[in-house]
């Protein structure tokens, strides 16, 4: 696929902020501040290189731009909002712009995820309903699994019907810490 990028478009930026005791990486476009990929570093991926790899596999224009060197903390609206969220201002990330390639239903799932407020957890079944297709539970779960913008598109707020946490790309431990940070776990029936 050929890139339609203007030759002067800058590389994507990467900001790293500590959230719930783990490095959180956000890759964003400097011209509009839209987060293109985001997630936590893991033991298996300590530099969170998989974020850019996942983005580049489905977005040739992003791949053509590449990613500038990481900036620990960094300045600007993305880093500021992430630091505010980490500090307890849970709605600080709600207004951040995101952009990821989507299918019509995945787009509805991702928009529905953004309507699930911090401090609340919903089931995959409820998410399917919020996305407008109550019977499409597996498709809603697939939307969570293919979300490139973790935390800001909060797939960590989705749990199993039995109250168990279910999976999370960055580990169930991180998911549990995020839900505790947001105050969602005390009200959940946590079944392990």
Do the Cβ atoms of 100 and 113 come closer than 8 Å? no
What sections of 93-171 are H helices per DSSP? 104-114, 124-130, 137-145
Counts of helices then strands in the chain (DSSP H, E): 7, 6
What amino acid positions are annotated as catalytic residues?
155
Angle subtended by helix axes 104-114 and 137-145, to nearest 10: 80
Q: How many CB atoms lie within 10 A of CB 158?
A: 27
């Amino acid at each position: 696929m050929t890139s339609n990028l203007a030759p002067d478009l800058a590389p994507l930026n990467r900001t790293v902020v500590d959230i719930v005791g783990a490095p959180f990486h956000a890759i964003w476009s400097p011209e509009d501040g839209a987060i293109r990929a985001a997630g936590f570093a893991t033991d298996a991926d300590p530099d969170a290189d998989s974020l850019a790899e996942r983005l580049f596999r489905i977005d040739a224009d992003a791949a053509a731009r590449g990613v500038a060197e990481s900036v620990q903390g960094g300045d600007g609206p993305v880093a500021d909002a992430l630091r505010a969220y980490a500090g307890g201002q849970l709605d600080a990330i709600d207004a951040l712009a995101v952009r990821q390639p989507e299918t019509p239903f995945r787009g509805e799932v991702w928009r529905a995820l953004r309507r699930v407020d911090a401090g609340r957890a919903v089931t995959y079944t409820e998410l399917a309903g919020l996305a407008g297709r109550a019977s499409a539970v597996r498709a809603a779960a697939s939307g969570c699994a293919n979300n490139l913008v973790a935390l800001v598109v909060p797939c960590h707020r989705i749990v199993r019907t039995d109250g168990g946490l279910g999976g999370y790309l960055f580990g169930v431990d991180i998911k549990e810490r995020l839900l505790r940070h947001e105050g969602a776990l005390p009200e959940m029936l946590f079944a392990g």
